Structure 1
Amino acid sequence: MHTAPDEPPPSGEPTPDGVSTAADDPDTAAAPAALRDLLAFEDGNALRLLCAPAGDAVVRRIAVGMDDLAPGRPGTLLLAVGAAPDARTVREAALRGACAVVLGETPPAAETLDAAREAGVALLVREGGVGWAEVAGLLRSALSYARAGLDDSGDMARGPEAIPSLAALAARVAAYVKGSITIEDTRLRVLAHSATGPDADPLRRAVILGGRVPDWRVAELRRSGLLRALWTARDVLHRPADGDTPERLVVAVRSGREVLGSIWAAADGAALAPDAARHLRTAAGLAAPLLVRERLRESGTAHRRENALRGLLHGLGDRRTHAWSLGLSPDAPCAAVVAEREPARTARRADDRALEVLVLELAAHRPGTGVLRDGDRLALLLTGDASAADHEAAVLAVVRELDAAVSSSPDCAPVWLGVGPVGPPERAAESYERAVLVMRALREREARAAAAGAPRPARYADAAGAGAAVEALRILDAARPVWESGDGPVHELIRADLAGGGELVRTLAAYFDTGGDVTAAAGRLVVHPNTLRYRIVRLRERDGVDVDDPDTRLLLTLAARLATAAPPP
């Protein structure tokens, strides 16, 4: 679990559990912070959200134990140390100003969850193996960091609480050093930058526009040894002007021994200030807690969003709480999209970038899209503000763009995109299930077209575009366990054939798919029509299976479809 660097110990008297009380915590006049922002600092290993509040809870203080609650002090996040994890505790805490309650690691009963929903408070539990002191320290650190971003007064020398954000710090440092500033993480991604003047050099513009240092520039920094020197040096480094590239100063931002990132100052049409290096040293100290906050927020937010998205798409846990964690209103129109590429083991191209192309396209044009990757599959949740009908059209337009992006990119394996129906967040799992069926139907449709020598069909569709194949797959999925548990001559024949290579199953599939047209089926199998006729006759004479009997024909058709169709994931 992440904790804040050099965080002072909580003040107040310790409880028997080792957690200090909130005696010195700010009162209700202190700057508030949203519960969602506090949870963004936590990676899900210490706290589990069970019930979301109505709207976003506003937290002003952390209280430890029921005795630390008092009416008239709203906005309290209660750590229910020593209290029973029951509905009475939740109701009493809500009446005394609690907006969120953290219970012990024992899972609460359903009536406790109902009480939290009725009271409009958030309900969380402490994960096993995590102590109350650790939870209190994490939440107090998160509250301190959240508050640090609310006041934009003062100057650089007043400390980190005077700098609300990395962007504000970049602007302030630029004014002191008389140049341009970029603040980057250890992956050389630009987290903040000062305003770009008319005389900014091309490299700075490329870095800002691209959101990171270009690969060619990284290679150059590695060759020159500057990157190695930056990560090991304790002071400001100077890089003199070179051709069109102006002079630069750079300093690493550290928290103890750990390097968090770097601050770069570039001359912007004029020489840097004589004391620019001194200001960069000060800025590095001020940037450290902000970079820690950025790292914690990024890690915690990503982890919680992924868990919430997975729960929403797969119908796990409380859907309303998952939607709250994703920042979705209960009536927001949502549609699931499932993208699956040709499996890596059978991909025809060695350098496959298909799913990466999709993720990049989404990041560029739909930054709020929820994305889950599982092997060769992406699950997407596309949300919007329009009506359901308008959102359905918008989703199909996005999917068309994604299909075009993959199709036009070299070295990309085929990708099929199935679109689920639009509905509120609580029905996202149903949309996901339908999107999976559509995607599977598209793959089967393409396989049949290839076998028949027909043109390749579209690789994206919604349920309407996929036609009857979606319902057929749904029925086949339901019938599969019944077939697999069955017995009799047809079952024995099919099982023996599949064990021997499946020639009969392939023959039956082609025969039934072509409506019993021997010539067309033989063409698909690349055999002589007489060969196919002989196989059918052999079924009757040697195996005692009459393909003209309606029930037998149904079993054989079902067996062939189940054997050639991919099972549900």
Structure 2
Amino acid sequence: MKWVTLRELLAFDEGGILRLLLAPSGQDIRLEGVIIGDEGPERSCAGRIVLATGITIHEAARRDAAAVVVRGGGDEVPEDVLTTADQYGIALLARSEWADWDDVATLLRSAIAYAEAGRGDRMADAMAGGGLAALASVVADFTGGSITIEDTQFRVLAHSATGPEADELRRSTILSGKVPDWRVEELRRSGLLRTLWSSNEVIHRPADGDTPERLIIAIRSGREMLGSIWAAADGRDLTANAANALSRAAEVAVPYLLQHRLRESGARRREEHALRGLLSGEGEMSTHAWSLGLSPDVRCAVVVAEHDGQAGAAAERVMGALALQAASYRTSVRVLRESARVVALLPLADGDERDALGLARELDVLAASTQGAGPVWVGAGSAAPSPLLASASRAEAGLVVRVLRERGGLEEGARRHAAAAELWSALDVLRVLDAVRPVWEHGSGPIHDLVRTDLEAGGELVRSIAAYLDAAGDVTAAAQRLVLHPNTLRYRLRRARERFGVDLDDPDTRLMISLAVRLVERP
């Protein structure tokens, strides 16, 4: 029977996916599997850890669950949940705010596999507690070769000691922490990688010139490829049992590579969660900044690049390129990629907010050089004195994008990037309109009647009034703009007064109808 103790589970959880709230029966209880939510009213939960999705703590307790994981986040766990868990002797854990249920399920299954790998044979016993580094050393003893353990991106996760006879390729791989690109391409052309990814067997590569004999095996969890183990005969022959030892090592390595993947995935998810929190102003700002490695007293600004979302694959390609460009602008930049938007949090060099405009300009140039991608607008928000206040710069950068989009449209040569300081009056207008919109949408009266009725008929009267107000009441200038005779415009304005009771000579009426026209022009 496969099982893991609560203590082993918590030790395995290096990424902090779970938080222990209560363990009334101690941390040495056995967890013999995972049940996700309510898998049927008759399903026993005896000895299992239950993920509380669609099942209550009371129901899990009634079915003899050993432990329950509840949703984490900012809200405190209800007192009755804690009381029930304590009463029934159930361990209670909370899921971290940034994690989802898939993360928790993967963690639990990986921890059980990890615990099983550490029980029951000489290889597992020899490396107990030492991780992948110990595994590499033990496998070197079993095979008589030099060992590297790599992930699917050919990064070296662990290696055995390197002797004086080691070939140059092994030395450079270990020193750089990654198989050289030229070597990966060579393996791809030769077909070795295709064989490796599709085989469960040990692959033998005979010695060739300066390249020693090698044995290679893929590390898999079911059908999922996790990495590979390479054994090189550096200065001595591989043992007769080397292939069998390598096969067993691939089995033992599975939970360690799953843990590595969880750790990497968890780090990315935590960073993304923290960045979203800083940019939206939600959650504990200091914790978010700490998670991103940002000092709370560094000045920063936010740059937003936004696509119109209409160009399909080309848009996806250009937004991916913009995200990479933003991330490479400086190592301290933090980038959030969304479907049609890239948001970059930029710590400012020497506190100079022109730095943000420089990034915006680079993104604009890159987007404009991508054929068929469609328009991209890039806005730089004003500098914030701290990443804890980055949400204000993020909101401002979004307003800049809106102004550029409305002003430029698809016109040839239209400006596609700007900083907030260049558009301050237009940004203030947007802020006012955003604040007024809920009042307008829930209001009533003559102006509402005029706008609503005329828009349903095509909007001729609204457009005429808008031109009249934009011309500061100059009928002749407004009529020229509309390509009308002045008397035609006077007739329309008179009709607004007679039919709807709207007096355009009244300052308050002019203000309200100006706002109304702006609001209907910006849905």
Give the TM-score normalised by the residue count of structure 2.
0.64
C-alpha change, 1:172 and 1:280, in structure 2 (3 Å) is closer
1:436 aligns with 2:398: yes
Which of these residues, 403, 409, 418, is aligned with residue 370 of structure 2? 409
Question: Contact 2:151/2:228 (CA < 8 Å) preserved in 1?
Answer: yes
Instruction: Tell me if structure 2 keeps the 8 A contact 1:312–1:426.
Output: yes
1:376 aligns with 2:340: yes
How far 1:324 moved relative to its partner?
A: 3.2
Which residue identity lines up with residue 448 of structure 2 in the other structure? H
- For 1:249 and 1:441, how far apart are their aligned partners in 2? 61
Distance in structure 2 (CA, Å) of the matches to 1:283 and 1:226: 19
Change (3 A) 1:321 1:441: same
Equivalent residue, structure 2, for 1:226 = 195
Give unpaired runs (5+ residues) of structure 2: 28-73, 81-91
Partner of 1:341: 307
Q: Percent identity?
A: 36
1:183 aligns with 2:150: yes
Q: Distance in 2 between matches of 1:250 and 1:518?
A: 85
CA deviation vs aligned residue, 1:284-321 (integer Å, no higher than 9, x gap): 34533331221211232233333332222222233223
RMSD: 5.5
Match for 2:425 among 468, 486, 490?
A: 468
Of 436, 446, 463, which residue of structure 1 is paired with 2:408? 446
Is this contact kept in 1: 2:334–2:345, CA < 8 A? yes
* Alignment partner of 1:105 is 2:80: no
CA distance in 2, matches of 1:495, 1:332: 49
The answer for unaligned runs of 5 or more in structure 1 is 13-18, 20-24, 26-32, 49-61, 69-101, 109-123, 149-154
1:312 equivalent to 2:278? Answer yes
For residues 534 and 277 of structure 1, what CA distance do their matches in structure 2 show? 96
User: Contact conserved, 2:379 with 2:397, CA < 8 A, in 1?
Assistant: yes
- Paired with 1:178 and 1:172, the residues of 2 have a C-alpha distance of 8
From 237, 240, 263, the equivalent of 2:228 is 263
Change (3 A) 1:375 1:229: closer
In the alignment, which residue of structure 1 is the partner of 2:492?
Answer: 539
Contact kept, 8 Å, 1:309 with 1:326, in 2: the verdict is yes
Aligned-residue offset at 1:427: 1.3
Distance 1:549 1:329, change over 3 A: same
The aligned counterpart of 2:325 is 361
Q: Distance in 1 between matches of 2:506 and 2:261?
A: 68
**Secondary structure of residue in 2 paired with 1:542:** helix
- For residue 49 of structure 2, what is the aligned residue in structure 1? none
Structure 1 residues 458 and 327: CA distance shift in structure 2, 3 A? same
Figure out how many residues of one structure are paired with residues of the other and give that number: 437
Candidates 279, 282, 288, aligned match of 2:254:
288
Q: Which residue of 2 aligns with 1:126?
A: 94
Task: Tell me the distance in 1 between the aligned counterparts of 2:507 and 2:190.
Answer: 74
**Residue of 6, 9, 21 corresponding to 2:5:** 9
Distance 1:505 1:171 in 2: 81
Change (3 A) 1:539 1:521: closer
Q: 1:478 aligns with which of 431, 435, 440?
A: 435
1:489 aligned to 2:441?
Answer: no
Deviations 1:308-365 (A, max 9, x none): 3222222223322333333434324333332211133xx4985642221122224445
Q: Which residue of 2 aligns with 1:158?
A: 126
The answer to whether the Cα contact below 8 Å between 2:329 and 2:359 also exists between their aligned partners in 1 is: no
Question: Offset of 1:519 from its aligned partner?
Answer: 9.2
How far off its partner does 1:501 sit?
A: 3.9
Report the Cα offset of residue 477 of structure 1: 0.8
Following TM superposition, by how much is the alpha carbon of 1:466 offset from its aligned partner in structure 2, in angstroms?
2.3
Structure 2 CA distance for partners of 1:523 and 1:425, relative to 1, 3 Å: same
| Corresponding residue of 2:15 | 40
User: 2:513 matched to which residue of 1?
Assistant: 556
Distance between the aligned counterparts of 1:522 and 1:259, measured in 2?
70
| Stretch of structure 1 that moved more, 544-553 or 307-316 | 544-553
1:99-143, CA deviations, whole angstroms, 9 ceiling, x for partnerless residues?
A: xxx9982289xxxxxxxxxxxxxxx98359x9xxx99x97x969x
Letter in 2 for 1:419: A
Matched letter for residue 360 of structure 1 = L
